Amino acid sequence: MAVAFLRAVLPQDANGRHVKYSGSSEKLLEQGQASSKKELSGDQESNALTSPFRINPRIISDATIGLSDGLTVPFALTAGLSALGDTKVVIFGGLAELIAGGISMGLGGYLGAKSEAEAYHAALAETRSVVHNDQQRASSMVRAAFRDYSIEDTTLDSLAESLMQSPTQTIDFLMRFHHQLAEADYAPSRAYVSGLTISAGYFFGGLLPLMPYLFTQSVHSAFQLSVLVMVLALFIFGWVKTSLIGEKDRVSCLKNGVQMVVLGGVAALAAMGCVKAIDG
């Protein structure tokens, strides 16, 4: 991780800003490797003792997309259909929307992740071509990664030359620091996981507001129970979603929980208003 170890080894002034470095590139690389190993070892030990377990942010993002839509769209639909006063209409309409919406959302997540993977592989192929066929351009791209650091041109040229001796490392470096793309984010299974996560989140989230109508014959009573269930579900979802990304501030968790309830309520009121307006 060239940029990471440069932060550790480049000299700094009293204000913590990097100053000109005029030493040899070999010495800088040796210092960087030693510093990186030491920092990595310390981070691993610290993480093992203090860092809490965290779910992959991409999975949280996909689950958030599925659940947020599943907790609002079907709820708004069932709330709107309940204005017609027929429980069967609410149940059949809600189930149809759940199935169609879950499939649609899942396909959207799958295709989106697949497109990202294709873009990654296209960038990887282009980078390989540049490294193997146009070393001058590749060297310029390597230098651009150090643009924000005050390094003497001679040292920078030597650094780029040393890195260019290994095409594999040069390709990996350019993908990470020039294109800002990490291979782990574009694994072959990513598209399937994304699609299934979004689809499942939408289906199970949308099933909650429909449950009261399956066990209560009175549309009015079922609607009241559905509202109660969804207020709790939306609030809990907003709270848990915030805490899963590492936020420990209860005020922020509370704010996001209330925000989800408000958004779901606005959607439901809009749907009910449209149905009543059309029904006359």
How do residues 121-179 score in pLDDT, each as one tens digit?
888 899 889 888 888 888 888 888 777 777 777 877 787 888 888 888 888 888 887 78
Beta bridge partners of 12: 18
pTM for this predicted structure: 0.68
Residue 73 has pLDDT above 60, yes or no: yes
Closest CA to 226 of 192, 161, 272, 279: 272
Beta bridge partners of 18: 12
What does pLDDT average to over the chain? 77
Task: Please state the length of the chain.
Answer: 280
Q: Are 213 and 117 in contact (CB under 8 A)?
A: no
Cα separation of 162 and 28, whole Å?
11
| CB neighbourhood size of 78 (10 A) | 27
Model pLDDT, residue 9: 42
Q: Are 67 and 205 in contact (CB under 8 A)?
A: yes
Model pLDDT, residue 96: 92
Q: Are 72 and 261 in contact (CB under 8 A)?
A: no
What confidence tens digit (pLDDT) does each residue in 241-279 have?
A: 787 766 678 888 888 889 888 887 787 778 777 767 776
**Phi–psi pair at 18, nearest 5 degrees:** -70, 140
> What is the pLDDT confidence band of residue 61, given thresholds at 50, 70 and 90?
confident
> What token pair was written down for 180?
């800002």
Residue 71 has pLDDT above 90, yes or no: no
The percent of residues in the chain predicted with pLDDT above 90, rounded, is 14
The conformational region for residue 143 under phi > 0 = left, psi -120 to 50 = alpha, else beta, is alpha
Cα separation of 41 and 46, whole Å?
9
Q: Are 105 and 65 in contact (CB under 8 A)?
A: yes
Residue 60 has pLDDT above 90, yes or no: no
Work out the average pLDDT over 72-81. 82
Longest dimension (CA), the chain: 82
> What token pair was written down for 173?
């470096």
Residue 215 has pLDDT above 80, yes or no: yes
> What is the pLDDT confidence band of residue 54, given thresholds at 50, 70 and 90?
low
Tell whether the torsion through CA atoms of 207, 208, 210 and 214 is positive or negative.
positive
The DSSP call for residue 178 is I
Q: Are 102 and 95 in contact (CB under 8 A)?
A: no
The conformational region for residue 180 under phi > 0 = left, psi -120 to 50 = alpha, else beta, is left
Residue 193 has pLDDT above 80, yes or no: yes
